[in-house]
Structure 1
Amino acid sequence: MWAPITATFLIYWLIYRPDRFHPRTDSAVLATFHITNDSLRYDLAVDLSFRNTQRVSILYLDVAASMYYNGTRLGPTDDALPSFRQGPKNTIVLHPAFNGVVTVDSGVVAELERERAAGTVHLRVTVSLTLMYKVLFIKDIFFYKYDCWLWFPPPSNSTPVLFYGDGTKCWRI
């Protein structure tokens, strides 16, 4: 009895390969990223693209993004990211924005000073997704988490810096 169900699921998985899905970072703007006393002020806008290469629609039930620096969570996006349905062979771009002030420890301050001296600041945006594929009578839900690594020259207090990812792949964790 289980053999036909298992074979159907295996064939379905091999055809649609949900594990091959990866969001991509198209571009980002780091307007502010500096420390005053023990407070880190940040302002980051990112363009994330989601490409559906499948022949079926994908339903994004839950999409969330958070920003990290040196292991310190700086915050979730300013606005909640929407749930949406994506048609076959389609690309959708979301624009999460991160803005705020967070208290940091001396290790984060030292790391930022080291990175500023080296000429590159590394940030990580983590994207969490709940995806649902539906083909005929089969519904499958998948939970994924991706790290999108961004690197910038240290921004000055008046000039934002840009990151051109040109579709840099985010990595599943």
Structure 2
Amino acid sequence: MGNFFVDVWSWALWTRRPAACTFCKLQDKFDIDPPSVSWAAKVCAFILNTAVDMLMSSLVALILVDLILFHPNSVHPRVDDAAITTFELKNDTTGGGGSSLRYDLSMAVTFFNDHRIYAIRFDHLTAGLYFDGAKLGPSDTLPSFKLHTRRHRKLRPVFHGRESNISAAVAEEFARERAAGTGRSITVDVRLRTTLRYLSWPFKATYYRVYHCSIQFPPPTNNIAVPSPSINYHCAR
């Protein structure tokens, strides 16, 4: 039985000479004749080679499926609405000098899974508020969730607080935007950070993504909530 398996392996290697380059060179160098094996060994060698070819083709197909389907390029959260109640710059009188920026902003953002095959899990999801590249306060930690096929989930990040020691560059940009008029004169950037996990047996893929949601507001007055006209659009990556 042991010799039979050796014959099968020898004939399988011989018939795959173009793929086995090293073995092919040895055959040419030492003028090795084809192995003398039985017809049963040749049949088994043919089946072995066919199985190897099918396995390699299936592996290539699975890699292509993974590259095409399991990629988060189509995942972009959408800003449904946003409102700002307070966004004002004042001199900091609590000590240390400088300026402080008070802010109060809320928004609604929707995550989609439009695919019909795989589910997507959103983990480590946070939302941070930025103005002129400067982060304002701590990030809002949002709950993790799983989106099955053809489903969506709406979340409502809230940002409220005061950021002290505002830099001169940020204060200058704030003054410039407030002086631009009563139109869309304040632009903030909400950055959504999350880990995407694609789940569809036997595949599992993980990606880290940061989405930038640029939102514009008219300057709020008298602590009255002002809605943003820049809604119903998808955040950029």
Greater fraction helix: 2
TM-score between the two structures when normalised by the length of structure 1 = 0.91
Runs of 5+ consecutive residues of structure 1 not aligned to the other structure: none
Find the partner of 1:107 among 145, 157, 169: 169
Root-mean-square deviation (CA, aligned residues, Å) is: 1.7
Q: How does 1:4-153 map to 2 (within 5 A)?
A: 4-37=58-91, 38-55=99-116, 56-78=118-140, 80-103=141-164, 104-119=166-181, 120-153=185-218
Aligned residue for 1:127, secondary structure, equals strand
Change (3 A) 1:122 1:54: same
- The structure having more radius of gyration, on CA atoms, is 2
CA–CA distance in structure 1, aligned partners of residues 142 and 206 of structure 2:
19
> Do 2:82 and 2:231's aligned partners in 1 also have CA atoms closer than 8 Å?
no
Cα deviation, 1:3-44, whole Å, max 9, x if unaligned, reads: 643431222332354211101111111010001100100011
> Do 1:57 and 1:85's aligned partners in 2 also have CA atoms closer than 8 Å?
yes
> Do 2:84 and 2:225's aligned partners in 1 also have CA atoms closer than 8 Å?
yes
Aligned residue for 2:233, secondary structure, equals strand
CA–CA distance in structure 2, aligned partners of residues 165 and 96 of structure 1:
17
> Do 2:137 and 2:162's aligned partners in 1 also have CA atoms closer than 8 Å?
no
Cα deviation, 1:24-65, whole Å, max 9, x if unaligned, reads: 111111010001100100011010110110122111122111
TM-score between the two structures when normalised by the length of structure 2 = 0.67
Q: How does 1:160-171 map to 2 (within 5 A)?
A: 160-171=225-236
Determine what percentage of the aligned residue pairs are the same residue.
Answer: 35
Aligned residue for 1:171, secondary structure, equals coil
CA–CA distance in structure 2, aligned partners of residues 17 and 162 of structure 1:
34
CA–CA distance in structure 2, aligned partners of residues 157 and 40 of structure 1:
16
Q: Which residue of 2 aligns with 1:154?
A: 219
Query: Deviation at 1:164?
Result: 4.3
CA–CA distance in structure 1, aligned partners of residues 138 and 59 of structure 2:
40
Change (3 A) 1:158 1:107: same
Higher relative contact order (CA 8 A, sep 6+): 1
Runs of 5+ consecutive residues of structure 2 not aligned to the other structure: 1-54, 92-98
Change (3 A) 1:2 1:76: farther
